Structure 1
Amino acid sequence: MPHIIRTLSACAILLLGISCTDNPGLETRDSIAAPGEAGRPFPNAPEIAPIGVRIDKYLDLPDGAKGPGLDPKKGYRTEKLGRDLYMVTDNSYQSMFMVYETGVVVVDAPPTYATKLNEAIAEVTKLPITHIVYSHSHADHIGGTGSLDLSHNPVIVAHDETKMLLARDADPARPVPTVTFQNTYSLEVGSHVLKLSYHGNGHEPGNIFIDAPEQETLMVVDVVFPGWMPFRRLAVSQDIPGWLSQVEKIEKLPFKKLVTGHVTRLGTREDVKTQIEFDDDLKAVVGEALKSNAYVDGINPADMGNTWALVDDYTARVAVQCVTTLTRKWKSRLGGFDTFVWDNCYAMEQSLRVD
């Protein structure tokens, strides 16, 4: 039996140069891609498959996207960042905790390993959790808070905007913060301090910077992706110009270790510079594509009265140019390049047209 890799309706992606047929059907191939190969596109399609088209093999990860391995029995690893400060990760999500003289401060509790976070802390100390800091409101980063040991009624610190969002959501897994701030807040516990600051709506309202100055560690979640393509739609950011400016702000801050909330390893200043370079390329390529593609070009005359069809066709042509151009430089530099390059081209196109 030939291996079925994709289901396509007739003329579904004609824009990409794929031939139409009279009868919808299944595209087949004699064998799946061999190890080490990327998913092979259909004839005349861009090298990177578009959104919604399943492939049989993603691009291999470059070395720069890889981090230390996990003990599969534990499902997480703990990395010391400096005096009494630790990162916990499952190599997909990241959180931190800080031990001080009489307790523990936890920064974020992703639900993917929140039940294990208590174990990670217990490996270091028997002191109770006295404080929790929320980087922002999203459930994938703090939705495990309810699984922590909350027996000592910890103080929960977050930005004002985060409190408003969580009060609206009324999610028992994400208790509403008990202490909030607008611009800056210094969390002083024993001989340690965490400096919290807000720099506006980038990823979402309330997404804060968490600085551990003694440990030369900065935590900013969902803004930088060390060694990786940014998550889809530029990290589903509400304010893309604000998000881009926050990446540049991070590069100027004094840190040596960057906890980003995602992917396989700590970030460095070079990682931030690399993302700025990619962001700049993405913005420039999309800007050029918006100018060089006519708004109406080759569309069926019967669709001229369909406003959404005109927009869809124009932005699709812009995205194709964006993906094709970026692939030449970035496909072997960023982990997961082929997963979200289409999403990010579309997100930048939308931002440049309307923001």
Structure 2
Amino acid sequence: MAKTHRFAYSALLVGLLSACSTTSNAVEDAPSTVNATYVTQSHTKALAPGEKVADLFQLNMNTPYVLQKITEHTYWYESGFYATIFYVGDKGVMLFDPLEMRAEPILKSIRTVTDKPVTTIVYSHDHADHIAATGQLLDMLKATQSEDPEIIASQATATKMELLKSGLVKPTKVISWPNDSFKFENLDVELHGFQHAAHTDDHSAWLLVQEKVLHAPDLLNSDQPPFWNFAGSERFTFLEQNLETANALNWDYFNGGHGNIGSHADFAFHLKFIEELKSAVGKAMGEVPFGFGVEVDKINAHTVMLPAWYGEIAKRATDELRPKYGKYYGFETAVPANAEMVAEYLYSYR
């Protein structure tokens, strides 16, 4: 990413965080997509499988961060609609994905529950919005601990960072792609990389085996329909396979990096939604003639015709799904863009 683009994105993120720290009107949250049981956030009381944090949108808008105990050792953090997890062991803390511009509140949340050193950081994938706070976090930790944390990433992530000349902090320990594991104290941590990934080519899921917690940012947003462009995925093509692969693993709690704490019911909802979106898009593709809405006698380039076709297909598919799904979080913003991605997929692969 060029420097100007990086600065523009940083400015965008600053604006988002600023907006989320401004008191919001008390608007009722969108309904649960999975009929979830909601509980008041607590960093001392663990969740039962399937429970979710209540009033999450308002908490993101009006509080510095959300901190929820998931299991005996694992905690879930979210601020500005970005989430991650950390594990408190006998000797130290393992943190996944130091979220961009959130080093200070993440460390504050860790210190809420323990004064043990942060000894391990894990990168899920090479997207700056999820790992860019590492450098700031390392600087902050120097005041309280003598050794820097080990930084673990998959070979796919490490290679990608080198190829793209990443300016972010590099991993100090690289494990094999697509499947490998390591020990953090007495905890087994398994890497399950998606050999054919939708979100990005180094996208992966990380299983905290004994905790039964799965961490896979940008795979899905729990308690919501799929986010815009399927959580910023580079392609739709393999998304269903990725969801099915992750869903088949042995876990009770899921962190998708955005949205609420997830369960297998969220995966079932997403797979059903995608099935119905594909059906609606396919139907619209059969109804809408290529170049719909384009006045052909007023153009001097054919390139307007494909986007116009996809746009009308997406509109009709969104209209078809609205009676069933329109009440859910972010439907109007996300579905048209997702429908266009599905149209491109169905047009390309037959």
The residue type equivalent to 1:203 in the other structure is: H
Structure 2, gaps ≥5 residues long: 1-26, 39-52
Distance 1:123 1:73 in 2: 19
Aligned to 1:129: 118
Kindly report which structure 2 residues correspond to 1:227-238, keeping only aligned pairs within 5 A, or say none: 227-238=223-234
Aligned to 1:210: 206
Task: Answer yes or no: is the 8 Å Cα contact 1:220–1:261 preserved in 2.
Answer: yes
- Structure 1: how far apart are the matches of 2:264 and 2:325? 19
Q: Which residue of 2 aligns with 1:280?
A: 275
Secondary structure of the equivalent of 1:241?
coil
Aligned to 2:31: 63
Structure 1 residue 274 displacement after superposition: 0.7
What residue in structure 1 maps to residue 218 of structure 2? Answer: 222
Q: Structure 1 regions of 5+ residues with no counterpart? A: 1-58
Match of residue 90 from structure 2: 101
Contact 2:205 2:246 in 1 (8 A): no
Amino acid at match of 1:154: P
- Map of 1:150-189 to 2, 5 A cutoff? 150-151=141-142, 152-172=147-167, 174-180=168-174, 181-189=176-184
Q: Is the 8 A contact 2:65 2:77 kept in 1?
A: yes
Q: Counterparts of 1:74 and 1:289 in 2: how far apart (Å)?
A: 43
Distance 2:107 2:89 in 1: 16
With over 3 angstroms needed to count, the CA separation of the structure-2 counterparts of 1:114 and 1:185, relative to structure 1, is same
The equivalent of 2:108 in structure 1 is: 119
Q: Which amino acid aligns with 1:145?
A: T
Is 1:260 aligned with 2:260?
Answer: no
- The DSSP-based 3-state class of the residue aligned with 2:192 is strand
User: Which amino acid in structure 1 is aligned with residue 71 of structure 2?
Assistant: G
**For 1:142 and 1:167, how far apart are their aligned partners in 2?**
15
**1:212 CA drift (Å):** 1.3
Measure, in 1, the Cα distance between the counterparts of 2:114 and 2:294.
66
Q: CA deviation at 1:60?
A: 6.5
Which residue pairs with 1:140 in the alignment?
129
Code of the aligned partner of 1:274: F
Percent identity over the alignment is 23
Query: Distance between the aligned counterparts of 1:253 and 1:319, measured in 2?
Result: 33
Residue of structure 1 aligned with 2:345, choices 343, 346, 351: 351
1:310/1:202 CA distance change after superposition, 3 Å: closer
C-alpha change, 1:277 and 1:73, in structure 2 (3 Å) is closer
Whether the aligned pair in 2 keeps the contact of 1:304 and 1:310 (CA below 8 Å) is: no
The verdict on how the C-alpha distance between 1:182 and 1:225 changes in structure 2, with shifts beyond 3 A counting, is same
1:194 to 189, 213, 224: 189
Q: CA deviation at 1:183?
A: 2.0
Q: Look up the match of 1:52.
A: none
Q: Indicate the larger mover: 114-123 or 306-315.
A: 306-315
Which of the residues 312, 315, 327 maps onto 1:317? 312
- Map of 2:288 onto structure 1: 293
Q: TM-score, normalised to structure 1's length?
A: 0.76
Contact 1:303 1:309 in 2 (8 A): no
Aligned residues: 295
Corresponding letter in the other structure for 1:89: E
Check if 1:244 corresponds to 2:240. yes
- Structure 2: distance between partners of 1:183 and 1:298: 45
CA contact (8 A) 1:166 1:175 kept: no
Structure 1 residue 144: Cα displacement: 1.2
**Against the structure 1 CA distance between its residues 310 and 97, is the aligned structure 2 distance closer, same or farther, given a 3 Å change threshold?**
same
CA contact (8 A) 1:61 1:336 kept: no
8 A Cα contact 2:125 2:202, kept in partner: yes
Deviation at 1:164, TM superposition (A): 2.4
TM-score in terms of structure 2 length: 0.77
Indicate conservation of the 8 Å contact 1:135/1:220, yes or no.
Answer: yes
**Which letter maps to 1:177?**
P
Q: Distance in 2 between matches of 1:262 and 1:302?
A: 46
2:64–2:79 Cα contact (<8 Å) kept:
yes
- Equivalent residue, structure 1, for 2:46: none
Cα 1:73–1:122, aligned 2, differ >3 Å: closer, same or farther?
farther
- Over 3 Å counting, the alpha-carbon distance change for 1:297 and 1:182 in structure 2 is closer
Q: Which amino acid is 1:285 matched to?
A: A
Correspondence 1:86 to 2:75: yes
Distance in 2, Cα, partners of 1:87 & 1:153:
23
Shift, 1:325, TM fit:
0.8
- Give the superposition deviation at 1:354: 2.4
Cα pair 1:330 1:337 within 8 Å, conserved:
yes
Shift in Å, 1:77? 2.2
Q: Secondary structure at the match of 1:240?
A: coil
CA gap of 1:177–1:83, structure 2 versus 1, over 3 A, is same
Q: Which amino acid counterpart does residue 317 of structure 1 have in structure 2?
A: E
Q: Which has the higher helix share?
A: 2
The answer (yes or no) to whether the contact 1:136–1:208 under 8 Å persists in 2 is yes
